[in-house]
Structure formats: C-alpha cells, structure tokens
C-alpha cells in the first residue's frame, strides 16, 4: 500500500496556529511510520505533540478523543488530548493532537529480557482495563463523534469472525496450508461460532511491543489506537501472541498475562482461546492482503511470513491438545 502524500503545508500551518496560537513557533515534521495514516511530530520548545489525520473523509476523531479521555480517567497511561477538530476543510479530514508518551517503543529498545518482561507485565494491567470497555457491536469502530458507547460495524459476532475469509472455502488458502491445518482452522471457527460473545469488548487492535512505550527501563504508556474495534475478549492477547518475538527475542506473552490477570481474571481455557484468536485474526489479515486493494501474490514475503506463523500456532494448538 503506497504511503499517503503529505498534508498541504499551508493547511497544516493554519491548523497548528489554531491549536497552539501564534505566540510560540511550532515545528512540524511527518513521522517515518504511518502509511495509511498521516502522523506529524510537533515540537514547541521542550514539548512534543503528535498530530494525526483521519484516514477517511467521514471519520470524526472526536471518537478517539473521547476514548482517550475516558481511558485516562480509568488510569490507563495513554496520550492526553490537546486539540481535536471534527473536520478541517483545508485538509479535508478530521484531526487530533495529543501529548507524547515518554520514551520509545519497547520493540526498539535495547533492554534486557528481565526489563522487557517487567515493562510488558505493567502494560498488561492497562490492557486489561482497555479490554473492559464495552463496544456496541463487533469489527471496526465507527468514528462518528462523541457518542458512547462506541459503535462498531457489525451488530453480532459471526460476520466479524469470518470477515475477509474466502467463500467458497478455502479459496487461495488451499495453496498455503495443508489439509490438516485447514481442518484445524475449520474446527476453530466451529468452536467460535458455537459460543459467540454477547457483546463486543474494546480491542486496541494493534497491541504488540511497537505500541508499548518505556522510558528508563520502566513502562510509560501505550499509543496508537488507530485500529480500535469491538471484538472477543481475547483479541488483543491473540494479537500479541501472533506477533510475539517478532522484535525482541524473549517470549513475552506470559508476562503480559501476568499483568492482565491482576486486573481481570482469565477463563480456565484462556490458552486455547488466545491461540484461536491469534490464528483467526492472522488468517483474516492474510486474506485482506491477498484481496484488493493490495492483491499480494501467494509468494509475497509478508504472505509467506504470516502463513508460516499461522502454521506454527496451529501445530502448537494441536500438539498441546488444545483442540
């Protein structure tokens, strides 16, 4: 997916003046990350802020501002909202400005395994609070203003569960997975259909060591709520398992669970539920990559990597008797 072009400099400068006034200069520089989302780093003296532009023209980032305020009130270490505009006519999008979180992503740190586990353990407490927030529905959260609770695209769980999966089954997945792996995945889908959650719970949506920040060897907060959705309770834990050890050598899921269960009890079958969630969300992501607009070929490196991780998790699921 190509990186979105920069925002018009004059429109950006006018927005920053409205947000901060003209008394002190503010420098603006686009961050290197962010492909579908335009994010700018703003510096005013010794203070740093981040400006995010909505992905779609009808997205209202007042939704995100309201969520940040509520999470902060619950004690979650998230960036504070500085400015939000429902729609900026010159930019053609809604915009949100927040404070920075101290330090940097755990994924880019050179800390020891012990420090990494301690940071993730603390992050698990915040994640448990995030996941307690109720969402009306499942799937991507609709950004339509300050309405609460958050609204999602699907009224029930089954359409979210199978979103992006091929019909007829298995479609192109038949070229990536053996019959035994596909049979195991079908078994996971059957189990999920048999006991759908009654209501959605908030998922950060992209929770891994790139979203967990640390400073001075301590957990400092969580960023990047651009992928929020209503999901099953284990979604974020499954996402973390899917990406565990991608950036750091240590397996950090046990530390995350340690912090999480200090705030919210986990069900007795949480290990298989987390693994199912990891496999199924990885599969949905894989199918999105294979379909439009990306249309990745089956031998694309990202496809091969994700398929290999799904096979690994599925084998573990079967080997450990979690089916």
Q: Which residue has the higher pLDDT, 293 or 131?
A: 131
pLDDT for position 118:
98
Check whether residue 192 and residue 272 sit in a common domain. Answer: yes
| Beta strands 150-154 and 134-136, pairing class | parallel
pLDDT exceeds 60 at position 64: yes
Q: How many CA atoms lie within 13 A of 51 on its CB side?
A: 27
Check whether residue 90 and residue 166 sit in a common domain. Answer: no
43 in Cβ contact with 26 (< 8 Å): yes
Domain end point (choices 47, 79, 99)? 99
Check whether residue 208 and residue 78 sit in a common domain. Answer: no
Check whether residue 45 and residue 180 sit in a common domain. Answer: no
Query: What is the rounded CA–CA span in Å between residue 184 and residue 323?
Result: 8
Check whether residue 68 and residue 185 sit in a common domain. Answer: no
pLDDT exceeds 80 at position 9: yes
pLDDT digits (tens, 9 = 90+) for 10-52: 999 999 999 999 888 999 999 998 777 899 999 999 999 999 9
CATH of the domain at 42: 3.30.200.20
**Number of domains the chain is built from:** 2
Q: Which residue has the higher pLDDT, 6 or 3?
A: 6
pLDDT for position 323:
45
**What is 38-64 written as a DSSP string?**
EEEEEEETTEEEEEEE-SSTT-BTHHH
Domain end point (choices 52, 80, 99)? 99
Residue 252 belongs to a domain: yes
pLDDT digits (tens, 9 = 90+) for 215-270: 999 999 999 999 999 999 999 999 999 999 999 999 999 999 999 999 999 999 99
Domain that holds residue 128: 104-319
Q: Sorting pLDDT into bands at 50, 70 and 90, what band is 105?
A: very high
Q: What backbone phi and psi angles, to 5 degrees, belong to 231?
A: -150, 180
Check whether residue 282 and residue 223 sit in a common domain. Answer: yes
Domain end point (choices 71, 99, 127)? 99
Residue 93 belongs to a domain: yes
pTM across the whole model: 0.95
pLDDT exceeds 80 at position 195: yes
Check whether residue 77 and residue 193 sit in a common domain. Answer: no
What is the average per-residue pLDDT within 89-96? Answer: 97
């Amino acid at each position: 997916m190509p990186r979105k072009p920069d925002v018009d400099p004059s429109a950006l400068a006018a927005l920053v003046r409205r947000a901060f006034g003209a008394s002190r200069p503010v420098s603006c520089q686009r961050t290197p990350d962010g492909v579908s989302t335009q994010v700018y780093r703003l510096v005013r003296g010794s203070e740093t802020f981040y400006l995010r532009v909505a992905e779609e023209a009808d997205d209202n980032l007042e939704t995100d501002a309201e969520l940040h305020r509520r999470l902060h009130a619950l004690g979650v270490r998230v960036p504070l909202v500085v400015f939000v505009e429902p729609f900026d006519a010159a930019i053609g999008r809604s915009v949100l400005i927040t404070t920075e979180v101290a330090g940097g992503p755990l994924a880019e740190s050179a800390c020891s395994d012990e420090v990494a586990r301690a940071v993730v353990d603390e992050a698990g407490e915040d994640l448990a609070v995030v996941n307690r927030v109720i969402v009306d529905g499942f799937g991507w959260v609709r950004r339509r203003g300050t309405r609460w609770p958050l609204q999602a695209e699907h009224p029930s769980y089954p359409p979210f569960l199978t979103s992006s999966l091929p019909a007829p089954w298995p479609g192109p997945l038949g070229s990536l997975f053996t019959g035994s792996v596909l049979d195991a995945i079908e078994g996971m889908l059957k189990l999920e259909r048999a006991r759908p959650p009654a209501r959605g719970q908030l998922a950060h949506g992209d929770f891994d060591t790139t979203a967990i920040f640390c400073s001075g060897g301590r957990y400092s907060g969580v960023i990047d709520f651009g992928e929020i959705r209503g999901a099953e309770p284990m979604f974020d834990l499954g996402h973390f398992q899917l990406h565990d050890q991608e950036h750091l050598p240590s397996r950090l899921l046990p530390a995350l669970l340690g912090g999480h269960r200090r705030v919210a009890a986990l069900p007795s079958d949480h290990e298989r539920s987390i693994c199912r969630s990891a496999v199924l969300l990885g599969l949905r992501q894989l199918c999105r990559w294979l379909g439009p607009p990306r249309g990745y070929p089956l031998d694309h490196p990202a496809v091969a990597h994700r398929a290999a991780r799904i096979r690994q998790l599925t084998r573990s699921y079967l080997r450990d008797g979690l089916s």
